[in-house]
Structure 1
Amino acid sequence: MRVVVICPAVRGAMSYHLHALARHYPAPEQLTLLVPCQFDGESLPCAVVKYPLSRGNMSKLVSYFSPLWARRRFQEIRALQPDIVHLFNSDGYPSSWLWARWTRRELQKPFIVSVHDPEPHPGTLVGAFTHRVGRRTWKQASHIHIFSEFFVPLMHQFGIESQRLFLIPLCTDVSNFTRYAQPNIVREPLALFFGRLEAYKGIPVLVEAAEQLRGKMRFAIAGPGKLPKRLQRRIESQPDLFELHNRFLSEAEVAHLFQRASVCVMPYVQATQSSVPWIAAAFGVPVVATATGGLADQVRQMNGVLIPPKDPRALVQGILQAFGQVITMPAEWDPDIVAEGYWTMYQRVYTEGSSR
């Protein structure tokens, strides 16, 4: 049973999930990752096939919107002679829709799509557009994989029948971070926001809550992305309260921040799921997050603190409550169990295809 996993997005959270899958998959000799050339997969036990892709965001979009580029990648898929093709996220690109269509029509093989965001994040026209394309890709796919039970009813509303739907939770290879942990780093009264700075992540709410905790805590905001100019000036004008790391951070830098932090804050306005709770749990850092989407289940499982969205006062109380909270690493987060879930999914899809 040869499985080809196409992984257009290999930076950040999806890369760490992919590493966890590949390192713990029960039959790595049957697994091939088809990834952009930037992917660091030399240490993985499975086969890794890389294709050329520019690092620039605009150049990437040109590629993913080009039928000619998509056809070249499909010829590479065909050459690998897969029994199953699995698109791992990035379902909102036209190339993904073409791969699903060509796999079903020309190869007559099952095509699985992993959907990270069953509903689009607010505040971005690009997200709304890719979600519309993604829904067309789902229709072409034979099966759909989601990461949270929270979105099962929504997928049913979109016309995805239960027999086409698989649920396997998000998984992160935290060793990418924990290997950089240093001894003798003292916990600080520091609340850490880590991740790409996006409109839906509630950073204005975080700033307002932080100003109510002046003198009790400091706040680190770390990750790439663009803040509104007024909000950025507000943060930068208060160096006694905030430290801003507005860039892509190395794993070593992320590890250092989590070792310093006493609380991890996720004041999202809307969420699907996130790899951040995994990293926080690995470093023993309690999480306070809004009760939204699949994120709520993740935080609940690790004994974190849940609050309503868009509520600075609730965030203040949540941060104070989370201080010293004992976190747990749920058994179902075990990478071996998650990777076994993928193997079971592939086995079922393969068996169904063989019986037709």
Structure 2
Amino acid sequence: MNRILKTTAIAAAVMSVAGVAQARDQIRIVGSSTVYPFASYVAEEFGATTDYPTPVIESTGSGGGLRLFCNGGGDDTPDITNASRRMKPSEFERCAENGVTDITEAFIGYDGIAFAQSNANEQMNVTREQIFLALAAQVPQNGELVDNPYTRWNEIDSSLPDREIAVYGPPTTSGTRDAFEELVMEAVSEDMEAYGGEGYTDIRADGAYIDAGENDNLIVQRLSENTDAFGIFGYSFLEENDDSLIGSSIDGVEPTPEAIGSGEYPVSRSLFFYLKNQHSDDVPSMYEYANMFMSEQMIGELGYLKGIGLIPAPEDLREEARNAVESQEQLELSDLQ
């Protein structure tokens, strides 16, 4: 081997060991199961209408995706991660510690968390407090906290049906789980004297709550098999399966696009994806994909993604979010606090 070839080989080996990203055409995406259907739609359109291959997308949950995204800047780490909640300050700090120091946040719209069952049943409308009492690991009784004794819904409130409490829901790595804990568990318990004004998010582990994994479609399938059970998942999955499922109103508000978009529905949340700008030179298709995702054709009031369950943000927020992506605006820790 001549000296030039030998030097080139050594340099390539050093770059590989150092984890420096290598140029490639195919985008690698991980993250939220809720955002997955929207990202998949854009990815298929991107593959069909550009010269680039269809991006590879893996549904890992929001927390799992951010963990992979923040592992470093090397070619073996994802370019983009989807999230059904905002990045946490602790995740941003972990990214920085691992050399992921240039991130752009893309806000795509809204989604609601549905509490749904098989439409073989009559609609069961609930309050957040009733859901909390069904699922909390410990609940107040006679002025003290005890292990949750409730096994049937009518034990919580006589107006509820005499049915076993069985709820299929997301795991701890899921952004849907994070949002559910914040918008239901914390919101209810902060107003309960027994918890001392602190938010309580511990979910019971005695079988009433069944961890159904990251695939929301599996929850839908299980609800058709166990018609006594409920499921917790993104509104888009309820809309896609309205021929077999029925959603509950929560605190008297039906899960509709209008109620979710206005914030009236009490369990609504924002959806995002995050771009690793350090990969943009080596993965040139990354921002073409991102700009397509942020286009009015996708996330607008008449966009394709609305047809599969995305709740569009108001026009001024869509424009602001689009500008942040187009300018590769760098996310700061202070933005998340």
TM interval, shorter chain, is: 0.3 to 0.5
Tell me the TM-score normalised to structure 2 length: 0.38
Q: Which has the higher contact order (CA 8 A, sep 6+)?
A: 2
With the length of structure 1 as denominator, give the TM-score of the two structures.
Answer: 0.36
Normalized per residue, which structure has more helix?
Answer: 1
Please say which structure displays the higher CA radius of gyration: 2
